[in-house]
Every structure is written in C-alpha cells, then in structure tokens.
Amino acid sequence: MRAAVWTWMVGYGLLMGCSNQTVKPPPAEATPAPQTLRILHINDHHSRLAADDGQVLQVEGKELEVVLGGFPRVVSAFAQLNASEIPTLKLHAGDAITGDLYFTLFQGEADADLMNQICFDAFEVGNHEFDAGDTGLKRFLDFLSKPMWHCDTSVLGANVHPEVGVSPLSRFAADDYLKPSVVIERGGLRVGIVGVDVAGKTKASSSPDASTQFEDERSAAQREIDALQARGIDHIVLMSHIGYRNDLKLVEQLHGVDAVVGGDSHTLLGSQFTSLGLAPAGEYPTLARNADGDVTCIVQAWQYTWVVGQLDIEFDTDGRVLNCAGTPHLLLGGLVEAGAPAVHAALAQHPYVLQVEPDAKAQHVLSVYEKQVQSFAAEVVGVVPERLCLRRIPGRHDRSRDAAPGCAEATDAQGGHAQAVVARAFLELGKRFGGADIAIQNAGGVRNGIAAGEFSIGDAYLALPYKNMLDRLRMSGAEIHQVLEDAIAAYLADPGAASGSFPYAAGLRWNLDLNAAPGERFSKLEVFRDGTWQALQADQIYLLITNDYIASGQDGFTTFGRIEEARREPTYLHYAQALADYVRDGGNMARPVPADMSTQAFVERQR
C-alpha cells in the first residue's frame, strides 16, 4: 500500500513538473527568538516605610534636599515597571525589618502589610531578620502570610537550617517556613530561585537560636543549583544576602548561575549616579563570569526604599545569558524646598530618576501605622546644635560615610560623631546609676545620623532601633584592651561585612594601626579619670557600660562574652530610651572635641 501511494505521489510530481507552475520548497524552520526576563527588586528596606526627606543630591552644581522613596512609592514603581509583556519576577533580597520605629512598635506587621501590596514572588531572609531570634522571624513571616492579602511569597534560605522540632521555624519539618529554592514560571520561562543568607555575620551580629545552623553560602547555593538543573531548570537566579563584594567572589565559584540579586551591603550601583553627587560601587548591572565562563548579571538596589532595581536578562535558546541590561530607579518624591524650575527639570530628566506618586491603597495601609508612630515619636526632649554624622570607620576608603553635606570630611580622621555621642550618653547614665568609667558602643549599633535641631523620642529610636539594654561589667584594663583587639580582628577578617564591629568609646581613647600585629594594633590606651587622661592599667578594675548585645560576645566582642556572671550587672535601661532620657536631662549633644574622640590616630590598612 505504501509503495502504491509513493508511486502515485511521484507520478503526480512528474505531472506537476511538466506544467507551467513553479514548485516552492517548504519554508525554512524559524529560528527561535531570544527570551527576556525582567527582575524588579529591592533589598535592605529596614522598616523605613515612610518617605525620607533631607537627602542631598547635586544637580548642575547645586545641592538639593530631596524626598526619596517610601514604600507606597515602591508599590507604584513595581506596578509601573511591571506593565509590559515581558515576564517579570518581583524579589526582595532581605533585611526587611529592624531599623525604624515601624519595627520597634509593630514587630514586622507594618512591613509585612506593605510588602503584601506588591506580593513578592520570593523573599530571602537577611541577617537582621534574626534580630529577635527565630521566634521574632516566625512572627514576621506569619504577618507576611496573612490570608487577607492573598499573597504567596516564597521565603528562602538554602543555607539556614533551624533544628526540626526545636526552632519555631521548623516545628514539624525543615521547610515549614524557609525553603532552599523555588521554581516560578513566567511567560513560558521556568526560573529557579535560590536564596542564601550571610552565615558568619548572622551568627556573630544577630540573634538566631543557638540550635539554628548556617551552612557555607557557596556549598548551599551550588547544591540547590545542581538540584534545579537536574530537574531541567535552565534559568537560575541567586538571591544573595551576603554583600556586593562577596557576590563578585562567589559568582566565580558557582556553576550554572545566571543572575545574582543581592543585599546586605547597601550597595549603590550605576555609574550615572556620580552626576548626582553619589558614589556608586560599580555598574548596574555588574557583569561577571561564573565558573563555567558564562556571563552572570549582578545587581543590588542600594537601601531603604530609595531605589527599585530593574534588571532585564536576555537568554539564548540554550538558556545562556546573551545580554544584561537595566536601570536602578531612584524614587524621587520631590524637593524639600522649592528650587529653580530648570534645576528641578534637570533632576527629573536624569536617566536613573523615576517620579511616581505613592500608591493610594498602600498609602492608606501605611497611614494606619503612621499615626501611631507619629504620636509616640513626637515628644521633643532636647536640641542638637549641629548634625551628628554617622560613620563606621575613619579613613578615606570607608563607604559608610554620612551623605549629609560636610560629613565625609568631618569624620575622615576620627570616625562618626553619632556613635561617639551615644557612647558619651551611656557613660553619663552609667555614672548616675551605680557608676561607670568607660562606655563602649559598636559602630553598627547606631543606625542613623542625628540631625541638627529639635531632638525627639522618635529620633532616639531611629538612631538606636534594636531591643538592646545596657549592662555594666567589671573588667581589668587588660581585658578591655583585648575586647578592642577582638572587635578589630573581626572587622579585618571581613571589612565589607563586619564594619559594624568597629569600636567607639567614651572615657577611653587610643591610637589604632590596622597594619600592626594582632594584640598590638591599639596603643596609647588612656582612660579619663579625676579630670585627666591616664594610661589604662592592665591590672586595674574598671566599670564599663555597654549594650547587652555585644556584652554577650556578639559582633566580634568575644572577650565580653567570657566575663563571668558575678562581674555583670543589667541596668534594665533600654539603650534608645537611655539616650532620650540623657537628652531630656540636659545631656550634651554637641559633637565631641577631637581630644575626646576614642580614635585619636588612625592608620589605614595597606592595600
């Protein structure tokens, strides 16, 4: 039968060939077009839900104070940038909570309700998600999964392992709350998303339960990437809360990763930000090569609610990255004071600036919480004569400079005023309540500079947003010296991630050489007693006041953690309330004179 049919078809073809008609060849098979994926992302919003005013940008040679961000504006930006035919993912790379009164008062509920106006596809837990322990993280994630918002955000943490049956995060199974990865399909693209949290920093500088384990970031990420590829998932995005510099190193060691959406280091990317007087750390996106030699796109969206990142990735038919492009959108709310129309127009036309109105529904959600925050924060307790600039590390190379005018130059030599004044307030309060000779505060425990003008309770909690209390310890001079050496060793082990461990003090000063041998980095240690500066005596006992977080040995202050209970005394003073009380009682909020700053001389590490 098949032979007969074939003979007939050949005969028919011959007859056709004798006619005047031309036989057209079959059309060539079309080449599949490249596929594009859009990723909209934020990171490190730290409960800063309201818009921030007073941020300074430079436009056409003039400094302008502007209003930036606010979560309702983030919601609008996500909606606007998602209004296309391009498959789009919505990602949050961690540190959603702690840092503002919205967390202090509502413990993550306000953050969750605003995040659910976007309905993120995935959220990677950051180190600050553990500031209130596993129980605090569970509480926040329960808020995030409120049924009323109809969101289904996957919460990731491939290297985070709460103990099953012990941690509230894994009462019944390891993935009760945290999943190592998730696969999301958009427009025919199947995308695997893996999440990792910064392991060492979370253990050293936050408060996860003792039984919760943190695996090496690279090992956990590669294991999950391999598992996804074994399921036929070709497109892999890593959500990485480990910091930009660590992302650059990690990508080189990973096979199969196409993009990294990062957080933790609050890194601004995008070279054109320099025209606004800002200091980006690299390009947006930054292009790197993974362990296979393939292009990988690396992005991060600065901090708070100021930037929404838009990453567009073009893939070839084999799933490899052909091209990375995108824009870091700076969310401009307007000028604090009316400026020249031409300057305002120039700012609005900047390629990175996006002007959007706050989303009305999100603004209503925020307003419910905002009224309570404003009521709590409104009480004015004193006046600050001059801005107290925030700065973690002295020296030219530190990127933690306060963006306010003049702060970079004012803090290059000796570091931040804000941390120094906080330590001074703790020392004075310690003297009133049982006595104190020295106060020590970690740089990262102070989260915001303090503006000139009226100082309110809200300002105190904005500067000191954690639940820390003040403890008094009886320590020898030798032990105090070792505490300082511990803290600097922790910083030098990972300068990008551990800058928060840099020590500030009141009643104690020193010279610091980062190039000296361990144990010899601090010299000329002096304590202020009886109206004069005296050498710190190794065998003398001093009363030292500090926050209970580093007093337990966290954030690199390991010798603090070895002081036995008999030499510890809790004051039961919340550290933010202690600062507010100090100001209310007429405490000195002026910048310390250079002779009273803890770091008297500073030698940067040779590069």
pLDDT at position 19: 35
Element at 491 (helix H, strand E): helix 477-493
Please give the structure tokens belonging to residue 252: 């080189």
444 near 95, Cβ under 8 Å? no
Q: What does the pLDDT look like over 557-600, one tens digit per residue?
A: 999 999 998 899 887 678 998 999 899 999 999 999 999 999 99
Q: What does the pLDDT look like over 369-408, one tens digit per residue?
A: 999 999 988 999 999 999 999 999 998 666 666 778 889 8
Q: What does the pLDDT look like over 101-154, one tens digit per residue?
A: 899 899 999 999 999 999 999 999 999 999 899 999 999 999 999 999 999 999
Between 2 and 206, residue with greater pLDDT: 206
Per-chain mean pLDDT for the chain:
91
What letter does residue 388 receive in the DSSP assignment?
A: B
- What is the DSSP secondary-structure string of 125-137? --GGGGTTHHHHH
pLDDT at position 570: 80
pLDDT at position 324: 96
* CA distance linking residue 559 with residue 482, whole number of Å: 7
Residue 100 has pLDDT above 90, yes or no: no
Give the mean model confidence (pLDDT) for residues 343-363.
93
472 near 569, Cβ under 8 Å? yes
Between 85 and 263, residue with greater pLDDT: 263
Residue 604 has pLDDT above 80, yes or no: yes
Residue type, 14: L
Residue 379 burial (CB < 10 Å; 0-12/13-18/19+)? exposed
Pick the closest to residue 518 from 537, 493, 538, 497 (CA basis): 493
Pick the closest to residue 264 from 49, 498, 461 (CA basis): 498
Q: How far is CA 323 from CA 62, 103, 184, 285, in A?
A: 36, 39, 21, 10
pLDDT at position 433: 75
Q: What does the pLDDT look like over 314-345, one tens digit per residue?
A: 999 888 999 999 999 999 998 877 666 777 78
Which domains occur in the chain, in start order? Answer: 36-368 (3.60.21.10), 378-603 (3.90.780.10)
In whole angstroms, how large is the CA radius of gyration of the chain?
28
* CA distance linking residue 590 with residue 480, whole number of Å: 27
* CA distance linking residue 180 with residue 167, whole number of Å: 17
pLDDT at position 400: 66
Q: How far is CA 344 from CA 58, 69, 445, in A?
A: 11, 17, 36
Please give the structure tokens belonging to residue 481: 């010296």
Dihedral angle over CA of 393, 397, 400, 406, nearest 10: 90
Q: How far is CA 74 from CA 55, 307, 312, in A?
A: 17, 8, 18
132 near 142, Cβ under 8 Å? no
Give the mean model confidence (pLDDT) for residues 154-173.
98
Task: Write down the H helix ranges in 23-157.
Answer: 71-81, 101-106, 109-115, 133-144
Prediction pTM value: 0.76
Give the mean model confidence (pLDDT) for residues 217-246.
97
* CA distance linking residue 72 with residue 114, whole number of Å: 8
Residue 90 has pLDDT above 70, yes or no: yes
* Residue 605 CB coordination number (10 Å): 12
Q: How far is CA 307 from CA 109, 273, 336, 574, in A?
A: 22, 12, 18, 32
What letter does residue 384 receive in the DSSP assignment?
A: E
pLDDT at position 360: 98
Axis crossing angle, helix 417-432 with helix 575-584, rounded to the nearest 10: 80
Terminal-to-terminal C-alpha distance of the chain: 83
Residues 6 or more apart whose CB falls under 8 angstroms from that of 601 comprise 511, 512, 524
Dihedral angle over CA of 592, 593, 594, 596, nearest 10: -60
Q: What does the pLDDT look like over 12-66, one tens digit per residue?
A: 333 333 333 344 455 555 556 789 999 999 999 999 999 998 788 988 888 888 9
* CA distance linking residue 320 with residue 322, whole number of Å: 6
pLDDT at position 339: 64
pLDDT at position 177: 98
349 near 81, Cβ under 8 Å? no
Please give the structure tokens belonging to residue 283: 């390009």
Give the mean model confidence (pLDDT) for residues 286-311.
97
Q: What does the pLDDT look like over 402-441, one tens digit per residue?
A: 778 889 888 999 999 999 999 999 999 888 877 899 999 9
Give the mean model confidence (pLDDT) for residues 199-209.
88
Task: Write down the H helix ranges in 58-100.
Answer: 71-81
Q: C-alpha angle with apex 463: 458 to 468, nearest 5 degrees? A: 100
Residue 246 has pLDDT above 70, yes or no: yes
**Backbone torsions φ then ψ of 352, nearest 5 degrees:** -100, -10
